[in-house]
Structure 1
């Protein structure tokens, strides 16, 4: 199932590649927290609906709450997806960038 999820993530990130915005736009706001070189490799996409994998197997192992959870953002590898109403909220960007770091460390 992990391979299926990773394929879904890679496909999703590829589908949105032309809509993503580089996080180096936050270099001054996050100076001292996130290095500029890191921000150049992180991206975000403003979407109307947060993309989440909805495989039967995920629900069968008890991840329905995750799939159905109402969130303003989610991170997959070096790209995070946020809803329009939080697109200007630096706290949300800071939070999602922490998840980009976690993905990098994974």
Structure 2
């Protein structure tokens, strides 16, 4: 494959450096679920258009379902991107922070390979990394006042 996804992720994150918001501002809601270090390190960008590799590359990789117009967020390493209509929803931030932990646990190259292969094999919603993120999100929503610390190894 000639397209370098890791470089694209790094370039995308660098290009959005000035629009980043620290996840530390979410600490009142997420302390006890995520470490303070993670909340300081991770950030998010609110954008009308989610970053996406060129459509031809996505199609060649068999990941066209990721271009869904209903997509509201994407995590690229320790930065996640959200559409404005969900930027105020804690559950979406929570879900994307799980993906930040998955990137940390697996490392960028292995995360990308695993995520892509899971989406191809199982579809987006049934991909194990997504199922894990949705399960943690559901647990948070069910009882947001009963923190349970989530660490990177718990998410893979």
Instruction: Report the TM-score when normalising by structure 2.
Output: 0.63
Instruction: Tell me if 1:84 matches 2:84.
Output: yes
In 2, distance between residues paired with 1:54 and 1:68?
Answer: 14
Greater per-residue helix proportion:
2
Q: TM-score, normalised by structure 1?
A: 0.91
Q: How does 1:15-94 map to 2 (within 5 A)?
A: 15-54=15-54, 56-68=56-68, 70-94=70-94
Deviations 1:36-71 (A, max 9, x none): 111000000000111111253431231122234531
Q: In 2 relative to 1, CA 3–101 (structure 1 residues): closer, same or farther, beyond 3 Å? A: farther
Normalized per residue, the structure richer in strand is: 1
Q: How many residues align?
A: 106
User: Structure 1 runs of 4+ off > 6 angstroms?
Assistant: none
RMSD after superposition: 1.6
Uncovered stretches (5+) of structure 2, i.e. residues with no partner:
107-156
